[in-house]
A and B are shown apart, each in its own frame.
Chain A
Amino acid sequence: MSNSPSHLRDWIIALYGALEEAEPHRAQAIRKLAGDQISRMVLDDDRVSVRFHDEVLRVTRLRATAKLKSPNGATDRQTVTALLLGYMEVSEAISLGYIRLRGTTDEVMAICAIIEILVDASTRIPTLQKNADTFLAATDSEAPRSDRRNRMARVQATAQRERALLGREGLINSFD
């Protein structure tokens, strides 16, 4: 039977557990950022609530139809794969709606800061890197690559139409 994480709950527990073992001071930083807040996280159809109770991480599965209270963050496996493989930037993912963060400014900033701590630590913690490798091994890399090509083609087509418009209006030199 595989020990690889399958549900979002398993992933979050595995990631935080690896961090707590290898760099406990950074795990403490995450606990400080999270405070008493209950956050909801969504990855495709997996929904969880996340909180710290007496400094212990509690991750609870939610029904797929559960209403998401703020703060919450949602994305999908294909977006995570595209980010990990460098086929999409975080700013693109957010502006295109592939990553959705809801909450007050402080709540959203805390979620982003926690993710940053985990990613930064992953460069020094072998277990975290293996988790990322396991995640990528289970997802398709061709789709993010073709999506990127399509996005770039749309951006270039838009840029060409913009240049043509500006050229027709005499605002820039016309291009052939």
Chain B
Amino acid sequence: MTRFDTLRPPAIGDPTAAAYKDWFHLNIFLPESGRVVLINLSLHGAPWDNRARVVGVALTSAADGDWIGGVEVAAFADSTIDTQAIFLSTLSIAVTRDGAALHARVARPGDGFEADIVARPLLPAAGLDLTAAFGSGWIGWSAVPVLSISGTLTLDGEVIALENARGYHDHNWGRWFWGEDVAWEWGAWVLGDDITIVAARGTDKAHFNRQPPHVFLVHGSRVYGFMPNQIALSYQAAPTRTMRRLPGSLAAIYPDRRSPDLPQSVTLRADSPMARFELEFETSTVAQLLLSDPMRPGAGFINELAGRCRLAATLDHRLLRAEGVGVFEYVE
């Protein structure tokens, strides 16, 4: 039995198929260097429409603030898609045949990014799975939040050690069009003492009308959940130069989105009878993914903020402090 989710394509005749969105997402956190790796394969539009697109992204934050990697965009007909796998010519994510692991491959030497990664769940139980209204449609989210990482990763010719790397995987799917007044804030942070924290909430593009947040903290094999009224997520935003914007063609026609107001720091507090914590995250560098809907005019902007974090927590009456690395997604 696999703890990994399956893609959720629309049925033939589904009147909402044009708004179909579906993706597998993998983050790899490298605590020693403070680097964050992002590999994402996504589907946009009705699979039988020749305008529908498969988009693959492989990006890594670098020490100098730059981002290594690139984007591949292809038609569905030029991709291979299975129930738990998406293959492009230079990127792929697939659940292994035995359902026990996620296999991500990136072959983009021209962009300085090559990877052959196996990610295995470390939690014994199934991960998060929920759906919510989202714009004109809805969005689903399932997560396998704590993964061991093995394999090979080469960035700009440097072989990266993965012994202490940790991974996060989620699957999003649903129906909406890029360019609608919908957005989200999502973060994943990996810290010492085997701690992983995940937070997410939907919002509008201006981030005025925020939905109740979802937060959980994993410590070893123990998962702590929090009710919305137990959570406070806040940040200090300022105009921020994005270091890399992809794909370049869309970046060229949206020059006004090059330096958006983005969180410089994020504070996440949660307080329940069994767990209380405060996480402080400082943004080091930002990459921006521009997503244009293939079915109608409109675009969304996903800002990936990478940086370091600090945690003070009391879990089951035990005081903990930890440091780590994380990513915060601020979408407009």
Query: A residues 77-108 with Cβ under 8 Å of B?
Result: 82-91
Given the interface pairs A89-B255, A152-B64, the reply to whether A122 lies near B111 with Cβ below 8 Å is no
Interface centre among B50, B66, B251, B258 (most CB of A within 10 A): B251
B252 contact from A119, A123, A124, A142, Cβ within 8 A: A119
Judge whether B250 and A123 touch: CB under 8 Å.
Answer: yes
| Chain B residue at minimum C-beta to C-beta distance from A153 | B64
Q: Which of B53, B110, B245, B295 is in CB contact (< 8 Å) with A142?
A: B110
Q: List chain B residues, Cβ under 8 A from A84.
A: 247-249
Residue B71 lies at the interface, judged by CB distance under 8 Å to chain A:
yes
Q: How far does the alpha carbon of A143 sit from the alpha carbon of B297 in the complex, in Å?
A: 33
Does the CB pair A122–B249 fall under 8 Å? yes
| Bitwise interface map of B from 245 to 267 toward A, beta carbon under 8 Å scored 1, else 0 | 11111111101001000000000
Whether A120 contacts B292 in the complex (CB less than 8 A), given A129-B73, A145-B110, A152-B64, comes out as: yes
Q: Cβ of A115: which chain B residues have Cβ within 8 Å of it?
A: 252-253
Contacts of B75 in A (CB 8 A): 126, 129
Contact pattern, A 52-84, Cβ under 8 Å of B = 1, otherwise 0: 000000000000000000000000000000111
Q: For the complex, is A134 an interface residue (Cβ under 8 Å from B)?
A: no
The secondary structure that dominates the A interface is helix
The residues of A that contact B110 with a CB separation of less than 8 Å are: 141-142, 145
Q: Which of B61-115 contact A (CB under 8 A)?
A: 64, 66, 70-71, 73, 75, 110-112
Which A2-41 residues sit within 8 Å CB-CB of chain B? none
Structural contact, A86 and B245, CB atoms closer than 8 A: yes
Asked whether, in the complex, the Cβ of A126 is within 8 Å of the Cβ of B248, the reply is no
Residue of B nearest to A129 (CB): B73
User: Are A85's CB and B66's CB within 8 A?
Assistant: no
Is A162 close to B, CB under 8 A?
Answer: no
Check if A156 is an interface residue, CB within 8 A of chain B.
Answer: yes
Q: Does B244 contact A (CB under 8 A)?
A: yes
Minimum CB–CB distance from B296 to chain A (whole Å) comes to: 8
Chain A residues whose CB sits within 8 angstroms of the CB of B53 once the complex forms:
123
Q: How many residues of A contact B (CB 8 A)?
A: 28
Is the beta-carbon distance between B51 and A90 smaller than 8 angstroms?
no
A26 to chain B, nearest CB (A): 10
Query: What CA separation (Å) do A148 and B50 show in the bound complex?
Result: 35
Answer yes or no: A116 CB below 8 A from chain B CBs: yes
The minimal Cβ–Cβ distance linking A164 to chain B, given in whole angstroms, is 18
Shortest Cβ distance from A149 into B: residue = B66
| Chain A, Cβ-Cβ closest to B246 | A86
Which among A126, A132, A145, A149 is the interface contact of B249 at CB below 8 angstroms?
A132
Determine the chain B residues whose CB is within 8 A of the CB of A124 once the complex forms: 51, 292-297
Task: Find the B residue at minimum CB distance from A136.
Answer: B110
Which of A83, A116, A129, A145 makes the CB contact (< 8 A) with B248? A83
- A110 sits at the interface (CB 8 A): no
A43, CB-defined interface residue at 8 Å: no
A83 and B51 in contact, given A124-B294, A142-B110 (Cβ under 8 angstroms): no
Of listed B248, B251, B294, residue having the most chain A CB within 10 A? B248
Least Cβ–Cβ distance between A134 and chain B, in angstroms: 13
Across the interface, which residues of B come within 8 angstroms of A89, CB to CB? 245, 251-252, 255, 258
Q: Are B251 and A120 in contact (CB under 8 A)?
A: no
Cβ distance A37 to chain B, nearest Cβ, rounded Å: 21
A119 to B290, CA, bound (A): 13
Chain B residues positioned under 8 Å from A142 (CB to CB): 110
Contacts A83-B252, A86-B71 given; does A123 touch B292 at CB 8 Å: yes
Q: B253: which of A85, A88, A116 is its contact (CB, 8 Å)?
A: A116
Residues of chain B within 8 A (CB-CB) of A87 are 248
Which residues in chain A, 137-168, are within 8 Å of chain B measured between CB atoms?
Answer: 141-142, 145, 148-149, 152, 156
Taking a contact as CB atoms closer than 8 A, the residue among A85, A120, A126, A129 that contacts B70 in the complex is A85
State which residues 115-156 of B face A: CB under 8 Å: none
When distances are taken between beta carbons in the complex, the residues of chain B under 8 Å from A156 are: 64
User: From residue 187 to 202 of chain B, which have CB atoms closer than 8 A to chain A?
Assistant: none
* Chain B neighbourhood of A119, CB < 8 A: 249-250, 252-253
Min CB gap B68→A, angstroms: 9
Q: Are B50 and A126 in contact (CB under 8 A)?
A: yes
Give the residue name and chain of the B residue nearest to A127 (CB).
B50
Contacts of B71 in A (CB 8 A): 86
4 nearest A-B pairs in the assembled complex, by CB-CB distance: A123-B292, A141-B110, A86-B248, A86-B246
Q: Can you list 27 pairs linking A and B with CB atoms under 8 Å apart?
A: A82-B248, A83-B248, A84-B248, A84-B249, A85-B111, A86-B71, A86-B247, A87-B248, A89-B251, A89-B255, A89-B258, A90-B255, A91-B255, A91-B258, A116-B253, A119-B250, A120-B253, A123-B292, A123-B293, A124-B292, A124-B293, A126-B50, A129-B73, A142-B110, A145-B112, A149-B66, A152-B66
